[in-house]
Structure 1
Amino acid sequence: MTSTTVLTGERGDLLQTLREQRGFLRQTVDGLTDEQAALRSTVSELCLGGLIKHVTIVEQRWMRFAVGGAEAMEAEPVDWAGMFRMTEGETLAGLLDEYARVAAAADELVATLDLDASHPLPVAPWFEPGASWSVRRVLLHVIAETSQHAGHADILREAIDGAKTMG
């Protein structure tokens, strides 16, 4: 998909909604230092840089699922605890660059994948046994996940410097 490609209808709506939620999340970290992005500003383990890292990994994994199912999704190991915090050497700019790269790749897929194609979900206690998700359902899940974490990020940011990015 080139920058001049305009998606309409359902694809356009899904992509526009996902881009809007990504934008809310990115806006939440605007102007922060690496130290602020790594700060745990509430009693939780969450930090803003960790949320950026988490949504990046989640979007990337679900897009792999959309293309190749559970096996593709689980092809690379995940550090479940580490994905929610910034590790030594990570920068907010680097995390945002990776998020932009993953988002661009996902946008390309939204333009081309069959939204009705479906794959069985990975075996996990949080998924209904034997259930399958369509590419459409995957996109809705990524939108919901991004939206939820944009709200978390807003709370974390407000605890750091009082900035309210979503209201």
Structure 2
Amino acid sequence: MAITLKDLKPKKLGEVVRELEYKGLLTLTMRVSDDKQFQSAMTKIQQPDKTLTKNALSKANNDGDGISVGEAMLYLIGEYLITEWDVEIEPNKIAPINGDNFIALCASVGDDDENIDFVGFISDNFTSMINEFKELGAETKKKPLKSTSGSKKTAS
């Protein structure tokens, strides 16, 4: 018997999930998976559509509305990777999880040094989780397809 259509489905790469606690101030859960929307957004940061030119960098053409790569990465983490948190906007009302609120959180954890420490904590965990996910994906891709039949046929 030949392979069946189910054998041709792409392999699931799994996911990496971590519950993170930051100095007793907050708890959040981050999840890295094979999310096509996240991958598309990440590509936009890593490989911008526009070619870098002197004109693009001139003072006249930079009105300050753009965001830095670092801020863009924090936005992506908040928008796509955080699945739960205990951040409240008022007593007993959890703040919506999104990129804007995560950036606001990063700027509100404490004084400037504490905010930088928190961003480092998030960045370190993000990097570690991405690397773990890549390793998981490499292991998954190495696994052979399971045969649906014990007999083998050769082409004639």
TM over 0.5: no
TM-score by length of 2: 0.34
**Structure of higher CA gyration radius:** 2
Q: What is the TM-score normalised by the length of structure 1?
A: 0.32
